[in-house]
Structure 1
Amino acid sequence: MEEGRMSIGALSEDVLNKLSKMLDNSACGWRQLANAVSEQPKFRCSERELTRCSLQVLSIEGSPGRALLAWLADRSCSLDFLLHCLRKMDHKEAVQYLTTTVAELIQITVQPQSQQATAGSRVVLTCRASGPPGLCYQWFRGKEEILDATGSTPELVLCPLAPIHQGHYICRVNHGENCIFSQWVHVRFVHSAGSSSSLFPGSVSGLLITHQPQSQAVSEGDTLLLECNAEANPPAQYEWYHNMVPMKQHKTRSLKIPCVTTAHRGQFRCKVFNLYHEAWTDTAKVTIGPSSITEASWVEVDRGRDSQEVHRSTYGPGVNPLQQMANPPPSDKNFHATDKVALLIGNMNYRYHTQLSAPIADVHELTNLLRQMDFKVVSLLDLNWQEMHSAVTEFLLLLDKGVYGLLYFAGHGYENYGNSFMVPIDAPFSYTSEHCLCVQNILTRMQEKKTGLNVFLLDMCRKRNPHDDIIVQPGLIKVTANIVFGYATCVDAEAYEVKREEVSNGIFISFLKRRVCEDEKVTVMLDRVAEDMGRCAITRGRQALELRSNLSERRSLTDAIQTSDCCSESYSARNLQWAVAHVLPQSLCLQFECGVKVQLGFAAEFSNVMVIYTRILEKPKEIVSCCAQLTDFPEDVDIDLKKTNQETLLEAGSLLLIKENLPSPEVPSLYTRIRSLQRLKTELTFTTCLHYTYSNMDEEVQERQTVTVGKPLVSKLNLHEPRVPRACSGSSSFSLDSFTVTEGSSFASAGSTSSAWSYYAQTARESSSPDSPTTSRSANIPEETDSPELFDAPKSLFASKSLPHSQVNDTNYKFSDMYNFHSY
């Protein structure tokens, strides 16, 4: 961030929400602001973008003003320009509120450091701050303000150094009546270079460590803070070590690790050095384990300068806390969700890495099981980096207060510094975090939606990635007591898949599918899966499930969906948004000039994989043979030409669609499988080529018709298009901070698809109505569309038959490096 210039993105969520409420009015609100900011071309909103903002009213907590502010933040709109526009539209309330808020955003970005120097030398003390425009600097020695030329600049220059300059210094950064102080530093005057050792008794080569890091015991999920300080000239530099391994990203006096895991336990030391000297701090031992309550009270400490410790007892007088814990009040076990949404991603066909076999079956089976529990499931195969980011954006749009959110990923992955990374199919050979998606960043975004349950099932490798030294700093993870991580394998271990007949299964799903529908607390269910894996001889010593959770309530994946009146609009909007990504083309009947009538039908194997079948409905008697074949598909989608127009689903490449789920014609059908629909940029257009032969002719005759069926399934969401990024946090170049709550791409897609918007909206409202004949379960299952009605008489697009749930036979498993989920 440039000094003196702050973006809207620097404002907190609370500030943005309060500001958006002031803008959600028709007289002097967000539309007037959109007009005011258009004086700069890069902030000019299109009609589509204005429509996205207005559609936020469909959600019970939606805010057009908040959507516009997020849009401006994505384009790095500065706070001073926003204030200028608010003054221009004479919004006095917003101007006053924002002016007061901005004045409180001053932050010291560079602290001055203590120094020692000899007579006649040059000493520079530096203090820099970020904040609103017009920051002023004031330097003080003790209580005396320094009035020379550099006393009001970020850099205070003491030259030539004399005994009068020795003392304690501090810098005050001002903005109007608000100010913030830097840390105190000490400038020591040294008469000669040889006398420095006398000033630093007990130090190494004249380098004095004044503050040592302290040993700590913290719990998983806490923030670890270690600090050291040293006085030296030239100023000291710092380098932290964990178990004697350098932490290259930590080179300041403070080591801060948010959301620690067991991987951070061990010994920490800091090397302090400058051009001439080097010294090591004492060793700080960090232990990490579960938190426990053993005291009868807790202390809340406000760390302000003039604060006092506030002791608050968590128990009544005379009550032993351990006795109260042993006899807890009865808890309500009838938990429910306001909705249930799942995103399942299976990556197999990697461009530069080992090809995998199991994700197609694993995603398919878990999809069927989650649908049985009323989850709205989006299942996607083989996504590149952009498509994974966009898919997660759309997934976040489906979340809301009280919603159960589940993310499953099968494919290559790795874990560095306690963060898990999912690898897209286009990741280069030596990939790093910037080529992947950080799961912990997704979690922070899910928490912003106030979800009722956050479940992550990661069926991937957790080996360390030697190519990646970047320490990603995810957003602050809140203590919500509703997070569950189910890892298919342990830290620094690999996950495997097994080969069984034509279909491969991952070991994790092989055991999970037997338990996932049990009416048990999620953590209890996953514990049983872990026990099942532990009893299997073939997995013992190779792969073991690891569970991490802070879930405090008995929430289960089988919990019922209950929608209150206040959430009905939000529920309807989610139904609409999910339905948009799962609409198939309607069945078509093509009439050819020769008298042959051909039917085209459509079925979905996954949210981005569709099967088209052709069958002959009518033909004149004089035609002895005929078939209808599909050709000329767009280059965007992925089609194996050798497997098009096949007589069986298996020959067409579909291992999972059950033929009984499709219509059973009296005459054979031809099947064509279309993959990667998420890359479809225009409407799906292809050619139906009719081949037929008359009884009195030997030569074959052809007729062709071009067919356009719109954008089926997930192609409506345009996942190939980049979502506008926001300012990233942490060290990684790419962060899920770019995925805003107010991004409305799927709504916009729906609105741009002819008259579909009003029809889908009406359907969503009807399906969410308590009087609707459509059950929540059937509303969650898209269907093969043989009839013009979109949601009438639903038939499952996905195979209703899962793969066999028989007991695992150890002898049927074959482990091979070919089927190993290598992470690099």
Structure 2
Amino acid sequence: MADGKLGLETLSEDVLNKLAEMLDNSNCSWRQLAEAVKEQPQFCYSEKEMTSCSLQVLNARGSPGRYLLTLLADRKCTLAYLLQCLRKIEHHGAVNFLTAYMLPIEITTNPQNVQVPKGSSVTLSCIAKGPPGLSYQWFRKEDELPGANLPDLILNPAQEGAYICRVNAGEMYAFSAWAHVRLLRSADSGSVNFPSSVSGLCITQQPKAHVLSEGDALHLECSAQGNPPPQFQWYHNKQPFQNATRQIIKIPCVTTADRGIYSCRVYNLYHEMWSENVQVEIGPGSCTGGYWETDDGHKASSLPRQMGDLYATDKVALLMGNMNYAHHRELRAPMADVYELSNLLRQLDFKVVSLLDLNRHEMHRAVCEFLLLLGRGVYGLLYYAGHGYENYGNSFMVPIDAPASYTSDHCLWVQDVLQRMQERQTGLNVFLLDMCRKRNLNDDIIQQPGPLKVTANIVFGYATCVDAEAFEVNKDDLSNGIFMSFLKKRLMEQEKVTVMLDRVAEDMGRYELTRGRQALELRSNLSERRTLTDRIQAPDCPVMASTRNLQWSIAHALPESRVLQFDCGVKVQLGFAAEFSNIMIIYTRILETPPDISTCSAQLSDFTEGPEIDLKHTNQASLRDAGSLLLVMDDLLPQEQPRLFTRLCALQRLKSELSFTVCLHYQYIHLDEEVQERRIITVGKPLVSKLNLHEPQRFPTSLASFSSDLQSVNMPTYSSFAQDLQTSLPSLDVSYTESADSCFYPQAGFSSASDLKRRNEPEENISPEFLTSEEARESKSFTHTSADKPFKFSNFHSF
């Protein structure tokens, strides 16, 4: 059967050629389709590939449209996404053609079992609906019946056996139910002859498909007439239900274990029929058990839940790591921790937004954008590594611009974020907080979070216990937090989230250097066996799924690689790579040098104001020299071609399109003077800068106002995504506030010695032998040249 999840490779050659013909001879051509598919980054094609499409016209049988469809198929484009893009460019002919093809083949009438006297004729009928051009094949057991290519199979005389019909449409097909033909012989005719009052079975009402959420009621009905009166037996995924023997069954509170294919067997003494197979989809919810109820009120337990039954409608993660604090000790571990966790979560199909070094305003805005990615049944994961504290059960994440004596007004309140996440009706909320939980003596306010909904889907994993510190491990230029060092070994396990974290806690407890100093604490009310490895099953509402994909892709769009042709004949390539969602690497390399030029190099300068760029680390011959300790590009680029790397940080502060100057330095043979050519390049707003996190937002002066402020920006209009979404989703509540505040936080200052003592610097009370230990431990390596060197606990920093 056709399905929107199927790829273009399932289309027959005839269908692909017909689509290509429409794209080659229309105002809505293949070029418009190539622009439309760019909404998903994997379908952003290079200039070279687009040129190859155009050059197909030079071939007598070449087709640009067919070439583009081949490119899309190679990158696993689905039929649903292709149809969406065709609708976007308003190619009605192609839309109608593909829609007709995507109709599933549905057997509406199956051939029936029959018993007839020997020598009689029998007609078996199979009626189906679906895409145009359905064809039929009849089989007796495994042997195809020659010439039997019509919906009706006439057997004259009837031959005993099992018959089945295959309905075809291009590459798609569907089989009918088996029909058994039995011949009545004189020896047994007296016992099985039909009485004159017998009438055939007839199903008068077929069951209907349903899309439900956990906790909803399911009602299925199959009505039939016949003489003798029909009997019923319901099946779920081809397995019979105990006591489900009436024409109606009810499930007052469905669970995800109840989804699947339902059918009903209708039979009497002489005949048997099957109802249509109907699909019941059930999304995540809070109901944890259910039972069957027949029309006479009888209750029967549903099948037990199994690992893997649960699923997410999507998975999204926000990872924030703060290192370079203005008024507090700088940290080293968050960069490596966020990077490694990002790679692991992407393998689990999470849409990951990874951000380093955020001020309070940027953290607030990042959380608001993260909330936009959440929805009903979505798995949401928030990870934070950096300075933090906990007062009276409330946890607070400290931004990099927090003053020396910060309070809750300068931080993000974790419990408030949880409340906002619950309002998005998520299927699972996971918080991983890799920070200290010491008391903050500057903050004596006991915050009261708003009422939380009663859900059973929350998991908190704290890197350390209440009133304790968290530590990081040094490894040359890189560090790992203790928590992440153990978490990354367990994260991919197909276990309930709480079970996986319990094992991390046990691993940490067995480690000699952390025993008694740092212990993971787990808090959870998760009542279902949900795992981070659960599969994703998109909801039936395609609007929210597509808007979530669009919102995520906006924050991860990289500029396209480009080739610059200078007047002297030198060709320079610019390439772009993302290290984090707000950190980008630009590399330059010389592709072609004329023979009369002896040396040349291309360097970048004059960058747009906003991103953080260390000029000492620009145009470096290696990524490490450019400040990137994590990425490896050496294997991706030809070794014989020189290249230079430049690392751009804090892209969230980019206020306008990113532009820079490419300065080409070259020297002709037999000439001593160096010549320069300059080219100004503009590459738009890459990665997270597209979300405009820098734009002014009024900061509240109290935590209560912060809570209401966070709630008021469920769909902030300063997001370019939200502006596009307002026209298509008018029912969503959108509100925002603006302010021209240029500075909110006071300058750090101390008027007395007591003020100095109240700085938020946790005391270090680690024993000397703990600080000087040289014990090494194993860890999954980073992707750089020194990755195989062991970690060493050298200088523990609390944060």
- Per the alignment, in what secondary structure is the counterpart of residue 384 of structure 2? strand
- The residue type equivalent to 2:795 in the other structure is S
Greater CA drift, 527-536 or 634-643 = 634-643
Q: Distance in 1 between matches of 2:786 and 2:310?
A: 29
Going from structure 1 to structure 2, the CA distance change for 1:678 and 1:421 (only over 3 Å counts) comes to same
Q: Which residue of 1 aligns with 2:605?
A: 631
Q: Which residue of 2 aligns with 1:649?
A: 623
- 2:500 paired with 1:525: yes
Q: Which residue of 2 aligns with 1:740?
A: 713
Q: Which residue of 1 aligns with 2:514?
A: 539
Q: Which residue of 2 aligns with 1:428?
A: 403
CA offset at residue 677 of structure 1?
0.2
Going from structure 1 to structure 2, the CA distance change for 1:441 and 1:585 (only over 3 Å counts) comes to same
Q: Which of 441, 450, 474 is matched with 1:499 structurally?
A: 474
Going from structure 1 to structure 2, the CA distance change for 1:650 and 1:385 (only over 3 Å counts) comes to same
- Per the alignment, in what secondary structure is the counterpart of residue 682 of structure 1? coil
Q: CA-to-partner distance for each residue in 1:567-618, whole Å, 9 max, x for gaps? A: 3221111001100110001111111111111111100100000000001111
Q: Does the 8 A contact of 2:695 with 2:718 survive in 1?
A: no
CA offset at residue 501 of structure 1?
2.5
- 2:686 paired with 1:712: yes
Q: Which residue of 2 aligns with 1:690?
A: 664
Q: Under a length normalisation based on structure 2, what TM-score does the superposition of the two structures give?
A: 0.54
- 2:583 paired with 1:583: no
Q: Does the 8 A contact of 2:584 with 2:647 survive in 1?
A: yes
- 2:376 paired with 1:397: no
CA offset at residue 731 of structure 1?
4.7
Going from structure 1 to structure 2, the CA distance change for 1:641 and 1:546 (only over 3 Å counts) comes to same
- Per the alignment, in what secondary structure is the counterpart of residue 678 of structure 2? strand
Higher relative contact order (CA 8 A, sep 6+): 1
Q: Does the 8 A contact of 1:511 with 1:529 survive in 2?
A: yes
Q: Does the 8 A contact of 1:729 with 1:735 survive in 2?
A: no
CA offset at residue 816 of structure 1?
2.5
Q: Which of 585, 603, 610 is matched with 2:577 structurally?
A: 603
Q: Does the 8 A contact of 1:397 with 1:743 survive in 2?
A: no
CA offset at residue 471 of structure 1?
2.0
Going from structure 1 to structure 2, the CA distance change for 1:709 and 1:480 (only over 3 Å counts) comes to same
Going from structure 1 to structure 2, the CA distance change for 1:808 and 1:568 (only over 3 Å counts) comes to farther
CA offset at residue 744 of structure 1?
4.8
Q: Does the 8 A contact of 1:586 with 1:602 survive in 2?
A: yes
Within 5 Å, give how 1:106-145 maps onto structure 2.
none
Q: CA-to-partner distance for each residue in 1:225-256, whole Å, 9 max, x for gaps? A: xxxxxxxxxxxxxxxxxxxxxxxxxxxxxxxx
Q: Distance in 2 between matches of 1:355 and 1:612?
A: 26
CA offset at residue 729 of structure 1?
8.8
- 2:798 paired with 1:820: yes
CA offset at residue 701 of structure 1?
1.1
- The residue type equivalent to 2:382 in the other structure is L
Q: CA-to-partner distance for each residue in 1:296-324, whole Å, 9 max, x for gaps? A: xxxxxxxxxxxxxxxxxx999xxxxxxxx
Going from structure 1 to structure 2, the CA distance change for 1:391 and 1:539 (only over 3 Å counts) comes to same
CA offset at residue 629 of structure 1?
0.2
Within 5 Å, give how 1:53-92 maps onto structure 2.
none
- Per the alignment, in what secondary structure is the counterpart of residue 659 of structure 1? coil
Q: Distance in 1 between matches of 2:618 and 2:498?
A: 44
CA offset at residue 636 of structure 1?
0.9
Q: Which residue of 2 aligns with 1:489?
A: 464
Going from structure 1 to structure 2, the CA distance change for 1:645 and 1:804 (only over 3 Å counts) comes to closer
Q: CA-to-partner distance for each residue in 1:643-662, whole Å, 9 max, x for gaps? A: 10000111111000112564
Q: CA-to-partner distance for each residue in 1:443-500, whole Å, 9 max, x for gaps? A: 0000001000000000000000000112222221122010000000000000000001
- 2:342 paired with 1:367: yes
Within 5 Å, give how 1:351-500 maps onto structure 2.
351-500=326-475
Q: Does the 8 A contact of 2:558 with 2:577 survive in 1?
A: yes
- The residue type equivalent to 1:705 in the other structure is R
- Per the alignment, in what secondary structure is the counterpart of residue 590 of structure 1? strand
Q: Distance in 2 between matches of 1:527 and 1:576?
A: 36
Going from structure 1 to structure 2, the CA distance change for 1:428 and 1:683 (only over 3 Å counts) comes to same
Q: Distance in 2 between matches of 1:644 and 1:808?
A: 27
Q: Does the 8 A contact of 2:290 with 2:302 survive in 1?
A: no
CA offset at residue 700 of structure 1?
1.1
Q: Distance in 1 between matches of 2:789 and 2:623?
A: 27
Q: Does the 8 A contact of 1:724 with 1:738 survive in 2?
A: no
- The residue type equivalent to 1:621 in the other structure is P
Going from structure 1 to structure 2, the CA distance change for 1:428 and 1:613 (only over 3 Å counts) comes to same
Q: Distance in 1 between matches of 2:584 and 2:290?
A: 60
CA offset at residue 815 of structure 1?
4.5
- Per the alignment, in what secondary structure is the counterpart of residue 361 of structure 1? helix
Q: Does the 8 A contact of 1:422 with 1:436 survive in 2?
A: yes
Within 5 Å, give how 1:285-364 maps onto structure 2.
330-333=304-307, 334-364=309-339
Q: Which residue of 2 aligns with 1:208?
A: none
- Per the alignment, in what secondary structure is the counterpart of residue 548 of structure 2? helix
Q: Distance in 2 between matches of 1:713 and 1:564?
A: 27
Q: Which of 568, 578, 581 is matched with 1:594 structurally?
A: 568
**Structure 2: runs of 5 or more not aligned:** 1-83, 85-288, 292-300, 729-779
Going from structure 1 to structure 2, the CA distance change for 1:750 and 1:710 (only over 3 Å counts) comes to farther
Q: Does the 8 A contact of 2:613 with 2:648 survive in 1?
A: yes
CA offset at residue 808 of structure 1?
11
**Structure 1: runs of 5 or more not aligned:** 1-57, 59-313, 317-326, 759-798
Within 5 Å, give how 1:261-280 maps onto structure 2.
none
Q: Does the 8 A contact of 2:632 with 2:784 survive in 1?
A: no
- The residue type equivalent to 2:444 in the other structure is D
Q: Distance in 2 between matches of 1:749 and 1:660?
A: 39
CA offset at residue 723 of structure 1?
4.5
Going from structure 1 to structure 2, the CA distance change for 1:495 and 1:509 (only over 3 Å counts) comes to same
- The residue type equivalent to 1:656 in the other structure is L
Q: Which residue of 2 aligns with 1:557?
A: 532
- Work out the number of aligned pairs and report it: 450
- Per the alignment, in what secondary structure is the counterpart of residue 489 of structure 1? coil
CA offset at residue 740 of structure 1?
3.0
- Per the alignment, in what secondary structure is the counterpart of residue 562 of structure 1? coil
Q: Does the 8 A contact of 2:381 with 2:431 survive in 1?
A: yes
- Per the alignment, in what secondary structure is the counterpart of residue 415 of structure 1? strand
Q: CA-to-partner distance for each residue in 1:795-821, whole Å, 9 max, x for gaps? A: xxxx99658999997xx432425x321
Going from structure 1 to structure 2, the CA distance change for 1:728 and 1:430 (only over 3 Å counts) comes to closer
Q: Does the 8 A contact of 2:409 with 2:702 survive in 1?
A: no
Q: Does the 8 A contact of 1:393 with 1:739 survive in 2?
A: no
Q: Under a length normalisation based on structure 1, what TM-score does the superposition of the two structures give?
A: 0.52
Going from structure 1 to structure 2, the CA distance change for 1:728 and 1:356 (only over 3 Å counts) comes to closer
Q: Does the 8 A contact of 2:623 with 2:631 survive in 1?
A: yes
Q: Which of 579, 583, 588 is matched with 1:614 structurally?
A: 588
Q: CA-to-partner distance for each residue in 1:712-764, whole Å, 9 max, x for gaps? A: 00000011114567x99965656564453233543447859xxxx99xxxxxx
Q: Which residue of 2 aligns with 1:677?
A: 651
Going from structure 1 to structure 2, the CA distance change for 1:736 and 1:526 (only over 3 Å counts) comes to farther
